[in-house]
Chains A and B, each alone.
Chain A
């Protein structure tokens, strides 16, 4: 899992509630990413950030929001607008944005909507 921590490991949410997933890295990486993984779907990019106070939408950003106020932190908020939020959420970081640099993944957070 490298130097990336995600919390909590398991999260349960009632419908209509917003929840925030934590992602912290101590690798001094510039870029951070959020992915969603569903069974048989692989990893789908939600948001990514190359530098502090800047982030870009990925392929499935609707219903999610992020912030990047500190280099080491990239929290993801799953809003009530996300219609099917139950999934495994993975945070990753890299020294630069993709390319020759390796992405390091956190251990993931499994979100279940009750």
Chain B
């Protein structure tokens, strides 16, 4: 079993829909949680970063962390075709004095006009 599970999709939604992207994890030692967006053939870019349970909002994006359930989510409101990309969750745990990031497989999102 992988430490971080993420459904690869693809997830196809109409423009304007609310999108929910999710990851589950098994290692309760994960301390920091991130969401990256990756356009085709490009490097990932950081969207959201959080380290506590609860919600964090940034524009149309909301990151949610539930440490008790080992579950994180990214919500996108009023989705746009430009949101079409692969979304990667990532988590960090302190290991031997170093912070080692672990990534999910990524979910492919398609927002159609």
Residues on A facing B (Cβ under 8 Å): 1, 4, 33, 35, 40-45, 48, 50, 56, 88, 90, 92, 96-100, 102-108, 110
Contact = CB atoms under 8 A, between A and B. Distances in A.
Contact of A106 (B43, B51, B99, B106): B43
Contact of B100 (A96, A98, A106): A98
A65 to B, nearest CB: 20
Interface of B: 4, 6, 8, 32, 36, 41-46, 49, 51, 88, 90, 92, 94, 98-101, 103-106
Contact of B101 (A4, A45, A88): A45
Given A40-B105, A42-B106, A99 B43 contact: no
A90 B101 contact: no
A34 to B, nearest CB: 12
B101 A42 contact: no
B45 A105 contact: yes
